Structure 1
Amino acid sequence: MSDTIDCQMSSTGVVTLRLIRPEVCNAINEIMVAELTATLAAISQNPDARVLVLTGTGRFFCAGTDHQWMLKGSQAGPDHNFEDALHIAHLLRTLDRLPIPTIAHINGPAIGMGIGLISCCDMAVCSPESWFCIPDTRLGLIPAVFGPYVINKMGSSAARRYFLSTERFSPAAAQGLGLIHECPASDEEVSEQVAQWVRTILHNSPHALTAAKRFITSVEHRPIDDAMLSDTAHRMAHIRSHEEAQAGLDAYLRQASPDWAPK
């Protein structure tokens, strides 16, 4: 039983992973890092898991890194801080590379590392009470470990502004930057958006979803040269001959639902 997270999977393979440190606004400490990493690793190996929904408990999605943990780090040596940072880096990479689709259900403000978690998810929707901030430089720090994911999501121009100014920004601004995809007007609409994405994802081929995620990572920021042409052709050849592609095409021609779709 975890003290920092709650993980539940439905009969249809929908995994809900909830941060449960509401007394500190779901701030992340070393225990949560370890439990999140282990849980995500287990999810990645579970063939029944189809989609992950990451959310928070209480008023905040995630208030970043726990201040007590940061204080302990400020009093420790470089080796200790390197190990701490590496554990966070492994957590973020595990979430970013999870083989199933991931949805960030942002139930409130996201600060610092909380924005890092969002940036590692495939889809993101936030409540109207949400706001965002990357305050590291105000504390004499830099967002080094989660920064690459935020820069990939928002772009370097936005990163220059928000890393350096540490100003808060709104759901509308976050959507304009590409950090989140939807910012509905009510919490009910937020929940419905999550449910809509889940319904859509469950109708798609699990193998193709994993292959699509790996494809995006592979081609991102690469030139469209001969090597990419060969790589994409190999991916197409492989996926066409996969049993799920054959089953999907057969179901389409018969105007039926494939086996992976909800009944």
Structure 2
Amino acid sequence: MATYRHITVTYTHQGRVAVVTLQRPEVRNAFNAEMMQELIDAFQTLHQSSQLHAVVLTGAGPIFCAGADIRMMQESVHYSEEQNREDALRLSDLMRVINTCPCPVVGRVSGAAMGGGVGLVAVCDIVIAAADTRFALSEVKLGIAPAAISPYVLRKIGETHARALFVTGERFTAERARQIGLVHVVVPAEQLDTALESTLKELLSSAPQAMRVCKTLATTVGQMPSEEAREYTAATIARLRTSPEGQEGLTAFLEKRTPKWTMHEEEKM
């Protein structure tokens, strides 16, 4: 695994879970160009790991992510329009590479998620947040807009909430984030890791290749014409039923035993 300056990538649960941690707590894990590129590189590497059951995205220290780094914003004041376009495309690339991660991405969110930090939350498949976390799409307060992250935020919260939160830039609670679909689970801060482990336990009991197919279904089928969806879903289930995982899962169910993919590596030997 590559060495990064502003993030860390570690593995847990016999290598079946990767943990990507933002490592700039002194600036509330705010983005700079280096961090964004490191995240892109790390997730591109994780895309290639076929046995991962999950990737956890979190931040070091009490704050998940405060959005753009102040120094980065200061520099952007002097950028040309083309330089600003390139900067926005880097953020867009980051959102896309996390959003398209083949296995589920679980957000462990605490403290605050502001601006681009909300974008990171939006591209996670499952989000667990501490109850005292505060969120804001605060770009409008700086005379700009959440443009690069908007496709992903809109898919999560819908137009009606985006119309309000994009233009006010107001702060909102974790409970409101849950109500609008940005967050899935809200727990007291001291229970955050317990809730994360509970979610990982569920994911570790699921077949890793089937999970990838399920994620693709969730993100694509709703946008297909009905006949295309009909053919695609029929072909998908036929392929899965005849796959090694599908055969093992159905056989294990009929034999009333645990599927082999839930076993730890040392148990397989």
TM (norm. structure 1) is 0.96
Other-structure match for 1:76? 79
The aligned counterpart of 1:211 is 213
Judge conservation of contact 1:25–1:62 (CA < 8 Å) in 2. yes
Secondary structure of the structure 2 residue equivalent to 1:260:
helix
The answer to whether the 8 A contact 1:106-1:126 is kept is yes
Q: Could you tell me how far apart the structure 2 residues matched to 1:71 and 1:202 are?
A: 43
Q: Which residue of 202, 205, 222 maps to 2:204?
A: 202
Match of 1:255 in 2: 256
The correspondence of residues 1-263 of structure 1 with structure 2, limited to 5 A, is 1-10=3-12, 11-184=14-187, 186-223=188-225, 225-263=226-264
Q: Which letter does structure 2 place at the counterpart of 1:9?
A: Y
Over 4 Å off, 4+ runs: none
Q: CA deviation at 1:80?
A: 1.5
- Distance in 1 (alpha carbons) for counterparts of 2:219 and 2:64: 26
**For residues 79 and 228 of structure 1, what CA distance do their matches in structure 2 show?**
40
Structure 1 position 119, deviation (Å): 0.5
Task: Kindly indicate whether the alpha-carbon contact (under 8 Å) linking 2:54 and 2:104 is maintained by their aligned counterparts in 1.
Answer: yes
Q: Deviations over 1:190-213 (max 9, x none)?
A: 211110110111111111100011
Q: Distance in 2 between matches of 1:95 and 1:20?
A: 17
Q: Percent identity?
A: 31
1:9 and 1:49 in contact (8 A); partners too: no
CA deviation map 1:15-56 (0-9, x unaligned): 111111011100011000100000011111123422111111
Residue 134 (structure 1) shift: 0.7
Q: Is the 8 A contact 1:12 1:50 kept in 2?
A: no
Shift of 1:114: 0.5
User: 1:70 Cα deviation (Å)?
Assistant: 1.8
- Indicate the SS of the match to 1:100: coil
C-alpha separation between the residues in 2 aligned to 1:262 and 1:62?
Answer: 35
User: Is the Cα contact below 8 Å between 1:202 and 1:262 reproduced in 2?
Assistant: no
How many residues are matched? 261
* Structure 1 residue 219: Cα displacement: 1.4
Cα deviation digits, residues 61-92 of structure 1 (max 9, x gap): 00001121122122111221222111111111
Structure 1 CA distance, aligned partners of 2:52 and 2:233?
27
Classify the secondary structure of the residue corresponding to 1:124. Answer: strand
Q: 2:168 & 2:199 partners in 1: Cα distance?
A: 34
Report the alpha carbon displacement of residue 6 of structure 1 after superposing the two structures with TM: 1.1
Q: Give the counterpart letter for 1:154 in structure 2.
A: I
Within 1, Cα distance between the matches of 2:29 and 2:211?
A: 30
Unaligned runs of 5+ in 2: 265-269
How far off its partner does 1:129 sit?
A: 2.3
